[in-house]
Chain A
Amino acid sequence: MTGHLPSLVPVLPEIILAVGAMVLLLLGVFQGDKSYTQVTNLSVALLAVAAFVMFGEVGSSRQITFGGMFITDAFALFAKTLVLIGSGVALLMSGRYMRDHNINKFEYPILVLLSTVGMMIMISASNLMSLYVGLELQSLSLYVLAAMNRDRIRSTEAGLKYFVLGALSSGMLLYGISLIYGFSGTTDFATLAATLKGMHEPAMGVTVGMVFLMAGLSFKVSAVPFHMWTPDVYEGSPTPVTAFFAAAPKVAALALFVRAMFSAFHGMTAEWQQVVIFISIASMLVGAFIALVQTNIKRLMAYSSIGHVGFALVGLAAGTEAGIQALLVYIAIYLTMTLGAFGAILTMRRSEGMVEDISDLSGLSQTNLPMAIGIATLMFSLAGIPLLAGFFGKWYVFKAAVDAGLVPLAVIGLVTSVVSCYYYLRIIKIMFFDEPAPAFEGGQGRTVGLVVGVAAVLNSPVSFLLISPLVAAAAWAAGSLIL
Chain B
Amino acid sequence: MINLADMAFYLFAFITVASGFLVISARNPVHSVLWLILAFFSAAGLFVLMGAEFLAMLLVIVYVGAVAVLFLFVVMMLDINFTEFKQGALQYLPMGGLIGLILLAELVTLGSAWAFGDVVGQNITAPIPAASDVHNTQALGQLLYTHYIFIFQTAGLILLVAMIGAIVLTHRQRPGVKRQSIADQAARRPEDAYKLVDVKVGSGVALPTKKG
Contacts and interface: CB of A to CB of B under 8 A. Distances in A.
A1 B142 CA distance: 9
Contact of B123 (A107, A115, A159, A195): A195
Nearest to A127: B151
Interface in A233-275: none
Interface string A174-203: 000000000111100001001100110001
A194 B122 CA distance: 11
Given A1-B142, A3-B146, A195-B120, A133 B161 contact: no
B142 to A, nearest CB: 6
Contacts of B157: 18, 114, 117-118, 137
A199 B123 CA distance: 13
Contact-size category for B: 20 to 34
A430 B102 CA distance: 64
Contacts of B154: 121, 130, 133-134, 137
Contacts of A198: 118-119
A140 B165 contact: yes
Interface in B68-118: 116-118
A118 B122 CA distance: 32
Contacts, number: 95
Interface string A137-158: 1001101100110110000000
Nearest to A15: B153
Contacts of A199: 117, 119
Contact of B168 (A118, A133, A148): A148
Interface in A124-139: 129-130, 133-134, 136-137
Interface string A22-39: 100100000000000000
A114 to B, nearest CB: 5
B129 A22 contact: no
A183 B120 CA distance: 7
Interface in B135-167: 142, 145-151, 154-155, 157-158, 160-162, 164-165, 167
A281 interface: no
B50 interface: no
A185 B122 CA distance: 8
Interface in A279-325: none
Contacts of A105: 168
A66 B146 CA distance: 9
A144 B168 contact: yes
B169 A66 contact: no
B178 interface: no
Contacts of B208: none
A107 B124 contact: no
Interface in A84-107: 105, 107
Interface residues of A, number: 45
Contacts of A330: none
B158 A185 contact: no
Contacts of A217: none
B202 interface: no
Contact of A185 (B121, B129, B133, B165): B121
- Classify the interface of chain B: helix, strand, loop or mixed: helix
A144 B123 contact: no
A286 B164 CA distance: 36
B164 A66 contact: no
A6 B149 contact: yes
Nearest to A67: B147
B91 to A, nearest CB: 32
Given A1-B129, A143-B165, A133 B123 contact: no
A66 B168 contact: no
Contacts of B124: 185-186
Contact of A195 (B119, B155, B167): B119
Nearest to B170: A150
Contact of A22 (B119, B145, B151, B160): B160
A278 B185 CA distance: 69
Contacts of A148: 168
Contact of A144 (B119, B142, B165): B165
Nearest to A188: B123
Contacts of B158: 133, 136-137, 140
A253 B193 CA distance: 64
Contact of A111 (B145, B148, B164): B164
B123 A184 contact: yes
B172 interface: yes
A470 to B, nearest CB: 31
Contacts of A185: 116, 119-124
Contact of B120 (A66, A141, A150, A184): A184
Among B121, B146, B172, the most chain A Cβ lie within 10 Å of the Cβ of B146
Contacts of A115: 161
Interface string A328-355: 0000000000000000000000000000
Contact of B150 (A3, A70, A141, A144): A70
Contacts of A111: 161, 164-165, 168
A205 to B, nearest CB: 10
Contacts of B160: 22, 114
Nearest to A197: B119
Contacts of B151: 69, 129-130, 133
B117 to A, nearest CB: 7
Given A1-B133, A3-B145, A137-B161, 5 more contacts: A22-B160, A115-B161, A184-B123, A185-B120, A195-B123
The 4 A-B pairs of least Cβ separation, nearest first, read A185-B123, A3-B146, A144-B165, A198-B119
23 contacts: A1-B142, A3-B145, A11-B150, A67-B147, A105-B168, A111-B161, A114-B164, A115-B161, A129-B151, A130-B150, A134-B154, A136-B158, A137-B161, A144-B168, A150-B172, A183-B120, A184-B123, A185-B116, A185-B123, A195-B120, A198-B119, A199-B119, A203-B117
Interface of B: 116-124, 129, 133-134, 142, 145-151, 154-155, 157-158, 160-162, 164-165, 167-169, 172, 175
Interface of A: 1, 3, 6, 11, 18, 22, 25, 66-67, 69-70, 105, 107, 110-111, 114-115, 117-118, 121, 129-130, 133-134, 136-137, 140-141, 143-144, 147-148, 150-151, 159, 183-186, 191, 194-195, 198-199, 203
